[in-house]
């Protein structure tokens, strides 16, 4: 802006006609005229800033104070917060505040968990002993005829109304202990996958022998009613499960579940292993052979787990790693790496001539280097050779790398029906302690791949080492398909079952694996929520650093209306949940099984990531003996380190507890009601009453928690009468306040309605439908957690949508809550939180009335929020709009509505942007489309491609059909399923696991008022911000006449963190090369892990000559001839 014009009058100068005495007057007039002209010119040269004079700071402050005062009076009146504070103050002299000893707490929890898990191990041991004894006393009978309860056929009738064979009547009843599924707790049933013939002599003998497990199942369940599923998975493929259950085929009529593919079976049957898969991609592998090879690799990968390590080498004229980033190393066979390998395998192309010896040499070298570097599993090592033929035995390679010790087993898979090279392939396997199989069809892969597991189990079987195996967390597939609402994470304890017969000792025959499930929620109940405070929690992780249980673990995602498990839900690393642990000190200590503690400043996401709390957490950790698990307990600094202890009589407590306005945290364990069937029908409150009245001596209850909840009931009892009085004293205002509520740290919840239940705006609030608003095993209610971090006497306001699928278009409601703190001996603990739910319209009316206020009593208001040239917002401390003149903006983020305003507030430090990370996100994959130019130029290539595909489909069909002749009638469906699955696998899900980062915006409480001007180019926009007292709310007033659309919106959106490998179009330099390096480093990184304690790699008595033979599959000659001719001729026609 130009400065004022300066004049320098000369006093010696005079003008004729003007007397000297009049000169000063004239000069003064001239001076004033010049100033006025300059001001007018200055105003014309400035952009319009009319609003500057229309937003008086003192007026906005008056509005904020008036609205804040009215709001505070309303919420304190209807919540009764001051009364509740007084009631706790009245009993302060009798209160004690105990400091929590986190280390003692985590040790106690660990000891309780160890005892619980030990009881499961004892049950499994009894099953192992019974199975091995039954096998020892059983003589194989090839002509055995035996009826058993087939899980698929039970209760099925034929067209004449008679029970089908193996499908006799089987009584099923709903059982709450087994997720309300229909079960039979008197006996087990037997499930078989579709590709296993239910009357095969091996199956019949195994089922008959395992009938001896039935009384043990029942006895185990009677001894330990907390047991869930018990089962025996046979090496022949049948699965005996207790309690008995009806098994339902999928939509194609197929039973795809094969117990031998399950993690618990594989981990119990074998020790950890390093595997190098060597696959032939020479020209002779073209077509169907390559399809079978790919499926074989995929099947092998499915047998690997998080304790195994793997790599895949492809060879033709030269040797190459299918993932170049993994060159020369082995990577952990976790779910992410296995799926990555599967995608790369699908892209393999065939060409050239196969040179096997170089590929074998490379595989041996990797295994040797890892062994010498003390990396990988440090146990079994094996090479899987997948090819359609070996022209020699490659003895020099084995002499150089593997003989005489033969520490690396070699398993050979001959692909296709050609048997010319069978002898060489078998020689390679037999001379390297491996196993040879021939895989002629896609459906052969499953059974033939499983043979290698039996070979690896031999040393353990011969030694009779019954190692106890605990699995990572997983979702039970049976529960998942049967009852979506019963989804739960499980871990399984499993032990192998061996043949003890002397005549088969050197063969090391594995009969199967016995297992029992442990629901992780049941395990975590041993770390009671009330002992951990408002923000505290407990969590478990495995020896590999993967999360077993954590309140922030999100194993499911929503696709449409269905809940589905995330592909990597059971390989979420501790560092991906506790991501503030940048140096991985916590992770390292827990994986090493250490006992100790450390502290971290953390950012805790709330309300689905819309909000964040800044806490200092103390972490306490220890291992759980005789398991691969470690337990962590988290307590937040400050009030989280203290427990409030009160005292009251049972009679007084019960009197105040048995009121209709009282509920208890339904997921908390006040009394154990899920063991004794007679107790299962009791609610926690009913069980408490029976226990306190000594009506049921068999009930077990947490006396400390009961004492706390009785005390809370007494202290909070006056609130019921207070709220009832308000409800009876009907006023216009009370019609807009739906309810009052309070919660205590003992999980007690009281609520009082001020309107009829049908008039409550948000009927889900404080019900199990709205988990965020109630006490759960994982967290305190959102309104409680936020209130705990608000200054004393201040309320936290949240806008909530009351809209549901059943009630669309419902208006928004607002909750307001505040914490009640108690201080004893300079120690402060949170005793309770109290609040109200009010209609948003009520809040809006209060606000618009407050903005009619002005400074003078009789003066008209110069400005109002209802003026057309002003915009007024009330936002919370995270920038979400509660009040706006435009109702559609309610609940939205301010930056989305007014990007210029939010940008300015951020630049001034009124709001701070906090970057948060989500390592469990699901993202839509980028679509890579090939150029459509060629098909547009000529339709012939597209036609040939389509024809080739159709012929491949036909030939696959013919080949499988030809193999069905030797199968039993119900085996074909499995081949069909496997085949179709291989194509479905290519059809990727819409969403895939990814890492994301997202911003959260937080008001800086030190800045209670601010104002300024936003330069929007053509105009300037004035604004004023004022804190609304006693709340987490801000009043924002801005000029609406200035168009600031040149500023982009500020969005609270998650963006995927990209780790991109460069494309040819990018070139290989600059940022692309950097991205490639970052991606590769992440993929190659070997996080710290603790290896399992036991390893069984070899045994001197092992019969290594039991190493497989040729496949005995016959086929229809005409079909085989047709297939061979077609395969030889048609591909050349389509070149």
Burial bucket for residue 76 (CB in 10 Å: 0-12, 13-18, 19+)? buried
The span from the CA of 1019 to the CA of 168, in Å, is: 85
> How many CA atoms within 13 Å lie on the side-chain side of 996?
17
Burial bucket for residue 220 (CB in 10 Å: 0-12, 13-18, 19+)? buried
Q: Give the pLDDT confidence of 369-419 residue by residue, as tens digits.
A: 999 999 999 999 999 999 998 888 899 999 999 999 999 999 999 999 988
At residue 192, the pLDDT reads 93
**pTM recorded for the entire structure:** 0.84
836 pLDDT above the threshold of 90: yes
Q: Give the pLDDT confidence of 171-208 residue by residue, as tens digits.
A: 999 988 888 899 999 999 999 998 888 889 999 999 99
The span from the CA of 771 to the CA of 283, in Å, is: 59
Bridge partner residues of 517 (DSSP): 492
Which pLDDT band, with edges at 50, 70 and 90, does 776 fall under?
very high
Asked which of 307-321, 604-618, 1062-1076, 1077-1091 is least confident by mean pLDDT, the reply is 1062-1076
At residue 1017, the pLDDT reads 87
Q: Which residues are CB-neighbours of 188 under 8 A, at least 6 positions away?
A: 149, 213, 214, 217, 231, 240, 241, 242, 243, 244
Question: What mean pLDDT value characterizes the chain?
Answer: 84
1036 pLDDT above the threshold of 60: yes
Please tell me what DSSP assigns to residue 168: -
Q: Give the pLDDT confidence of 590-606 residue by residue, as tens digits.
A: 999 999 999 999 999 99
Average pLDDT over residues 1060-1076: 48
The span from the CA of 757 to the CA of 763, in Å, is: 8
Which pLDDT band, with edges at 50, 70 and 90, does 1086 fall under?
confident
Q: Are strands 611-623 and 596-606 parallel, antiparallel or unpaired?
A: antiparallel
Bond from prior residue into 404 cis (ω within 30 degrees of 0):
yes
24 pLDDT above the threshold of 70: no
The span from the CA of 231 to the CA of 244, in Å, is: 10
Phi, psi of 933 (to 5 degrees): -65, -45
At residue 913, the pLDDT reads 96
Bridge partner residues of 277 (DSSP): 312, 384
959 pLDDT above the threshold of 60: no
Please tell me what DSSP assigns to residue 941: H
Phi, psi of 599 (to 5 degrees): -120, 150
The span from the CA of 760 to the CA of 765, in Å, is: 10
Average pLDDT over residues 891-909: 95
Bond from prior residue into 1022 cis (ω within 30 degrees of 0):
no
Q: What is the DSSP string of 648-716?
A: --HHHHHHHHSSTTEEE-TTS-SB--SSSTTTTTS-HHHHHHHHHTTS-TT--B-HHHHHHHHHHHHHH
Q: Please name the residue that has the structure tokens 């603990």.
A: 829
The span from the CA of 670 to the CA of 705, in Å, is: 7
Helix axes of 57-79 and 840-850: crossing angle, nearest 10 degrees: 140
Which pLDDT band, with edges at 50, 70 and 90, does 804 fall under?
low
1024 pLDDT above the threshold of 70: yes
Residue 358 CB coordination number (10 Å): 15
CB 608 within 8 A of CB 593: no
User: H or E element: which one contains 30?
Assistant: helix 23-45
At residue 1, the pLDDT reads 42
At residue 1088, the pLDDT reads 84
Which pLDDT band, with edges at 50, 70 and 90, does 676 fall under?
confident
Q: Give the pLDDT confidence of 108-137 residue by residue, as tens digits.
A: 999 999 999 999 999 999 999 999 999 999
Q: What is the DSSP string of 38-106?
A: HHHHHHHHSPP-GGGGG--HHHHHHHHHHHHHHHHHHHHHHH-HHHHHHHHHHTGGG-EEEEP-HHHHH
At residue 278, the pLDDT reads 98
Helix (H, G, I), strand (E, B) or coil at 949: helix
CA 533 to chain centre: 23
Asked which of 674-688, 801-815, 1035-1049, 1050-1064 is least confident by mean pLDDT, the reply is 801-815
Share of the chain above pLDDT 70, in %: 83
Average pLDDT over residues 989-1009: 91
Following CA atoms 108, 109, 112, 118 in sequence, which dihedral angle do they give, to the nearest 10 degrees? -120
């Amino acid at each position: 802006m130009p400065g004022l014009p300066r004049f320098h009058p000369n006093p010696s100068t005079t003008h004729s006609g003007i007397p000297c005495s009049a000169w000063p007057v004239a000069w003064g007039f001239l001076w004033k005229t010049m100033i006025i002209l300059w001001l007018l010119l200055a105003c014309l040269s400035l952009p319009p800033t009319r609003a500057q004079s229309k937003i008086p700071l003192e007026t906005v402050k008056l509005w904020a104070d008036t609205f804040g005062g009215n709001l505070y009076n309303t919420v304190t009146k209807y919540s009764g917060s001051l009364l509740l504070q007084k009631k706790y103050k009245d009993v302060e002299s009798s209160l004690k505040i105990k400091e929590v000893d986190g280390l003692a707490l985590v040790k106690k929890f660990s000891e309780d968990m160890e005892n619980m898990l030990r009881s499961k191990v004892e049950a499994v041991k009894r099953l192992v002993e019974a199975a091995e004894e039954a096998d020892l006393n059983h003589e194989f009978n090839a002509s055995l005829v035996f009826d058993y309860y087939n899980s698929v056929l039970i209760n099925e009738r034929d067209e004449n109304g008679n029970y089908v064979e193996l499908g006799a009547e089987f009584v099923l009843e709903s059982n709450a202990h087994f997720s309300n599924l229909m079960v039979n707790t008197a006996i087990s049933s037997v499930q078989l996958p579709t590709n296993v013939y239910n009357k095969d002599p091996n199956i019949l003998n195994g089922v008959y022998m395992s009938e001896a497990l039935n009384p043990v199942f029942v006895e185990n369940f009677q001894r330990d009613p907390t047991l869930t599923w018990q089962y025996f998975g046979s090496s022949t493929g049948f699965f005996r499960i207790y309690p008995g259950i009806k098994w339902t085929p999928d939509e194609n009529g197929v039973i795809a579940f094969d117990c031998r593919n399950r993690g618990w079976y594989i981990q119990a049957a074998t020790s950890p292993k390093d595997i190098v898969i060597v696959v032939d991609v020479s020209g002779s592998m073209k077509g169907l052979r390559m399809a079978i090879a790919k499926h074989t690799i995929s099947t092998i990968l499915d047998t690997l787990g998080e304790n195994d390590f793997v790599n895949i080498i492809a060879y033709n004229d030269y040797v190459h790693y299918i993932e170049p980033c993994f060159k020369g190393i082995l990577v952990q066979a976790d779910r992410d790496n296995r799926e990555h390998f599967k995608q790369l395998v699908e892209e393999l192309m065939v060409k050239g001539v196969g040179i096997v010896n170089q590929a074998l040499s490379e595989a041996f070298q990797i295994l040797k280097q890892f062994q010498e570097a003390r990396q990988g599993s440090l146990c079994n090592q094996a090479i899987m050779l997948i090819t359609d033929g070996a022209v020699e035995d490659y003895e020099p390679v084995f002499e150089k790398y593997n003989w005489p010790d033969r520490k690396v087993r070699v398993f050979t898979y001959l692909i296709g029906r050609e048997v010319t090279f069978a002898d060489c392939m078998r020689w390679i396997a037999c001379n390297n302690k491996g196993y040879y199989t021939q895989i002629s069809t896609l459906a052969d892969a499953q059974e033939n791949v499983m043979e290698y597991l039996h070979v690896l189990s031999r040393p353990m079987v011969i030694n009779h080492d019954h190692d106890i195996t605990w699995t990572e967390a997983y979702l039970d597939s049976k529960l998942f398909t049967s009852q979506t609402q019963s989804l739960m994470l499980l871990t399984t304890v499993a032990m192998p079952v061996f043949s003890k017969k002397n005549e088969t000792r050197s063969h090391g025959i594995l009969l199967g694996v016995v297992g029992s499930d442990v629901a992780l929620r049941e395990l975590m109940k041993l770390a009671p929520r009330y002992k951990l405070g408002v923000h505290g929690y407990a969590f478990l992780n495995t020896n590999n650093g993967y999360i077993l249980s954590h309140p922030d673990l999100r194993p499911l995602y929503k696709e449409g209306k269905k809940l589905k498990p995330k592909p990597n839900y059971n390989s979420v690393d501790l560092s991906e949940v506790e991501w503030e642990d940048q140096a991985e000190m916590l992770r390292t200590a827990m994986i090493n099984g250490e006992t100790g503690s450390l502290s971290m400043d953390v950012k805790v996401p709330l309300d689905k990531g819309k909000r964040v709390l800044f806490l200092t957490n103390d972490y306490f950790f220890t291992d759980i003996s005789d398991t691969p698990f470690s337990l962590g307990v988290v307590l937040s600094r400050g009030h989280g380190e203290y427990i409030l202890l009160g005292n009251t009589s049972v009679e007084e407590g019960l009197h105040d507890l048995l009121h209709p306005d009282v509920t208890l945290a339904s997921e908390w364990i006040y009394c154990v009601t899920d063991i004794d069937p007679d107790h299962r029908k009791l609610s926690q409150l009913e069980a408490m009453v029976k226990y306190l009245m000594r009506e049921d001596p068999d009930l077990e209850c947490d006396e400390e928690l009961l004492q706390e909840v009785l005390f809370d009931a007494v202290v909070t009892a006056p609130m019921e009468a207070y709220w009832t009085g308000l409800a009876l004293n009907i006023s216009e205002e009370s019609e807009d306040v739906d309810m009052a509520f309070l919660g205590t740290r003992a999980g007690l919840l009281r609520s009082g309605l001020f309107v009829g239940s049908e008039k409550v705006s948000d009927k889900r609030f404080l019900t199990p439908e709205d988990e965020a608003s109630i006490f759960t095993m994982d967290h305190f209610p959102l309104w409680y957690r936020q209130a705990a971090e608000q200054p004393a006497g201040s309320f936290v306001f949240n806008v909530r949508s009351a809209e549901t699928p059943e009630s669309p278009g419902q208006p928004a409601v607002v909750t307001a809550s505040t914490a009640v703190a108690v201080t004893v001996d300079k120690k402060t603990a949170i005793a309770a939180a109290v609040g109200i739910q009010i209609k948003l319209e009520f809040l809006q009316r209060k606000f618009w009335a407050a903005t009619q206020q002005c400074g003078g009593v009789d003066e008209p208001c110069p400005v109002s929020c209802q003026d057309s040239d002003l915009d007024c917002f009330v936002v919370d401390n995270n920038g979400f709009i509660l009040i706006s003149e435009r109702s559609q903006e309610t609940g939205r983020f301010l930056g989305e509505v007014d990007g210029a305003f939010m940008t300015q507030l951020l630049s001034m430090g009124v709001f701070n942007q906090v970057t948060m990370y989500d390592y469990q996100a699901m993202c839509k994959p980028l679509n890579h489309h090939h150029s459509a130019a060629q098909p547009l130029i000529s339709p012939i290539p597209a036609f040939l491609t389509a024809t080739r595909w159709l012929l491949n489909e036909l030939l696959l069909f013919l080949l499988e059909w030809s193999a069905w002749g030797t199968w039993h009638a119900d085996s074909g469906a499995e081949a069909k399923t496997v085949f179709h699955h291989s194509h479905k696998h290519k059809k990727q899900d819409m969403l895939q696991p990814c890492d994301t980062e997202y911003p959260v915006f937080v008001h800086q409480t030190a800045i209670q008022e601010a104002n300024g001007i936003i330069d929007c180019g053509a105009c300037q926009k004035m604004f004023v911000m004022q804190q609304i007292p006693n709340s987490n709310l801000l009043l924002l007033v801005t000029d609406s006449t200035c168009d600031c659309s040149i500023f982009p919106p500020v969005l609270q959106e998650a963006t995927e963190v990209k780790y991109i490998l460069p494309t040819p179009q990018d070139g290989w330099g600059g940022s692309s090369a950097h991205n490639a390096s970052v991606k590769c480093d992440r993929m190659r990184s070997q996080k710290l892990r603790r290896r399992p304690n036991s390893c069984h790699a070899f045994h001197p008595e092992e019969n290594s000559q039991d190493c497989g033979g040729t496949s005995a599959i016959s086929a229809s000659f005409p079909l085989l001839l047709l297939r061979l001719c077609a395969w030889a001729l048609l591909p050349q026609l389509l070149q």
